[in-house]
Amino acid sequence: MLYVELIAQGLIQGSIYALIALGLTLVYGLLRILHVAHAAFFTLGGYVGVMVANQTGSLAAAIVAAMIVAGIGGILVFRLCYQPILHQPPFVPLIASIGLYIAAEELFRIVFGPSGLTYKYAFLQGQVIAFGSLRFKEAEIAVMLGSAAIIGVLSLLQTRTRIGVACQATVSDPQMAESFGISLRKVGDINFFVGSALAAFAGVMVSVLNNMVEPTMGSVPSYKALAIIVLGGLGSVRGTLVAALVLGVVESFGTIYLGHFLDRNAIAFAFLILVLMWRPQGLFARS
Amino acid sequence: MLRLEGLACGYGLFRAVSELDLEIPRGTITGLIGPNGAGRSSTLMCVAGHVDLQAGRIVFDEHDIGGLPATERVRRGIAIAPEGRRLFKDLSVEDNLRVGGMIHKANLFKADRDYVLALFPRLGDRLGSLAGNLSGGEQQMLSIGRALMARPKLVMIDELSLGLMPKMVDLCYEALLRLKQDGMTILLVEQNTDRVLSVADHVCVLESGRTVWSGSAADARKDPELAAAYLGLR
């Protein structure tokens, strides 16, 4: 039963990783740049979430507000930061992205203070739901179900709607997509909006789980998400999902069996190195 | 319909085509032929809006479209089936066609798809297959079909027969003749000069980015020097 519980805990952690890493994959697939500043939207989501929740007492309102604000922020970053330098060599947008992330972290510290914010209301805390002998916090169940629902809906939208097909075509061959009238800017807007909104949802859920939002809460997820998209095969949505869940489970087992001499994050990166030694292109490299 | 006036195009400082003059009348097939590196594909990509126009004018339906982005040119009626086909390989055949018709309303999709399937019945059995899993001939059909979904006035096809089985080439050329009967204007880049001359009304021969001969396909066949030097015909 320990194994089942470890797998379940790993999947919960993995779904949070998946939400953050999906946005990175969407951006990489479209623009071929590593959007390090993506983690800032995870933190932004947490801050907007805690402020709206404390004002309204509604977690649903907090989630919606966080996703909308982060989504709009994502579009602004695309248009103001990346679009003007897309014709430059890839390291230029990468450096801009790192700078943007550092600036965002400092901005959060200046605006909200260094010590972090907490929820006034106890959302999804304290209650425990049992499946057989497995016990979870309500928040953990919410993370799992919320992630599955959002990713499922996104997947349907991507395959069943014209705009979803247009986005897939653009990621596959941007120039040809333009040849058929698809605007790269619109697809960029959509990818940045959706990716940033997903990160914000993860930010709210993590802040609810920990009852804490702080300026540096995006640091670990930022490099963990980069590791996940490399592990999944850069640009592969399916690979990102699988890699995120696998990494969550590996971390979960690793902390029990290797935790006495390796930190949780060290376990994750040791796993990344081992996988990349076996498959340098990642688990699901794009064709 | 399409007039290239002193067209020069290329990539950055590199000039692939210099001073190309070409007139393509409505409802005709024009063959653009010449050796590798002559600038044929660059010309097509420049007309489509993907290669920098360095000098000259691109006049389509009496409008200078040289400054328009690719997204606008397809709306004006120019579609391309590019070299290497460049299909969206992770999408199904049906979704590739859907992307081709993206500039039109969704309710037109079925009729346009049926037109393409009537032209290329083989695609009808493969609608759910990924484009990347099709044979070379089927991919070429899909590439042309995707371009037709845009309801273009002019369709540009690059290297139609390259790497295809003769039977597939026959099917594609039959489709071109049907398109011409339906009033389509076609600009065709092709290595196989015999094939081009069998369907084209006009021919333009390029070498090193310059026009070396231009005229009717019938005259091209009759010109012994041209046939020997550029067309590989004796």
Distance (Å) of CA B58 to CA B6, B25, B113: 9, 14, 30
Q: What is the pLDDT of residues A147-183, one digit of tens each?
A: 889 888 988 888 889 999 999 899 889 999 999 999 9
Residue B124 within a domain = no
Residue B77 within a domain = yes
Residue B79 within a domain = yes
Residues of chain A contacting B100 with CB distance shorter than 8 Å: 180
Residue A243 C-beta-side C-alpha neighbours within 13 Å:
33
Nearest residue of chain A to residue B104 (CA atoms): A181
B110 touches chain A (CB under 8 A): no
Q: Do A179 and B132 touch (CB under 8 A)?
A: no
Residue A100 C-beta-side C-alpha neighbours within 13 Å:
23
Residue B142 within a domain = no
Nearest residue of chain B to residue A175 (CA atoms): B50
pLDDT band at B230 (very low <50, low <70, confident <90, very high): low
Distance from CA of A93 to the nearest CA of B (A): 21
Residue A247 within a domain = no
Q: Which domain holds residue A74?
A: 16-215
Residues of chain A contacting B150 with CB distance shorter than 8 Å: 180-181
Nearest residue of chain B to residue A163 (CA atoms): B102
Query: What is the pLDDT, as a whole number, of residue B215?
Result: 87
Q: Do A287 and B70 touch (CB under 8 A)?
A: no
Residue A170 within a domain = yes
The count of structural domains within chain B is 1
d(CA B103, CA B106): 9
Residue B113 within a domain = no
The pLDDT mean for chain A works out to 88
Residue A48 within a domain = yes
Percent composition of chain B: helix, strand, coil (DSSP 3-state, to 5): 40, 30, 30
Q: Vertex A277, ends A271 and A281: CA angle to 5°? A: 100
Amino acid at B145: G
Decide if B178 contacts B184 (C-beta within 8 A): no
Decide if A20 contacts A245 (C-beta within 8 A): no
The count of structural domains within chain A is 1
Query: What is the pLDDT, as a whole number, of residue B195?
Result: 87
Residue A88 within a domain = yes
Q: What is the pLDDT of residues A70-83, one digit of tens each?
A: 999 999 999 999 99
β-pair type (B185-189, B154-158): parallel
Best A179, A182, A184, A237 residue to mutate vs chain B (most B CBs within 10 Å): A179
pLDDT at residue B82 above 60?
Answer: yes
CATH of the domain at B213: 3.40.50.300
Residue B80 within a domain = yes
d(CA B170, CA B175): 9
Distance (Å) of CA B49 to CA A87, A260, B45, B66: 17, 60, 6, 8
Residue A144 within a domain = yes
Question: Residue A189: helix, strand or coil by DSSP?
Answer: helix
Q: What is the pLDDT of residues B160-213, one digit of tens each?
A: 888 888 899 999 999 999 999 999 999 999 888 888 888 999 999 888 888 888
A173 touches chain B (CB under 8 A): yes
Q: What is the pLDDT of residues B139-150, one digit of tens each?
A: 999 999 999 999
Residue A34 within a domain = yes
The total of other beta-carbon atoms located within 10 Å of residue A239's CB is 24
Of A38, A1, A56, A42, which is closest to residue A203 (Cα–Cα)? A42
Q: Which domain holds residue B175?
A: 2-85+153-229
Average pLDDT by consecutive 10-residue portion of chain A (287 residues)?
Answer: 83 90 86 88 95 93 96 95 88 92 94 89 73 78 88 87 92 92 93 94 92 90 86 81 91 87 85 86 69
Burial of B125 (0-12, 13-18, 19+ CB in 10 A): exposed
pTM > 0.90: yes or no: no
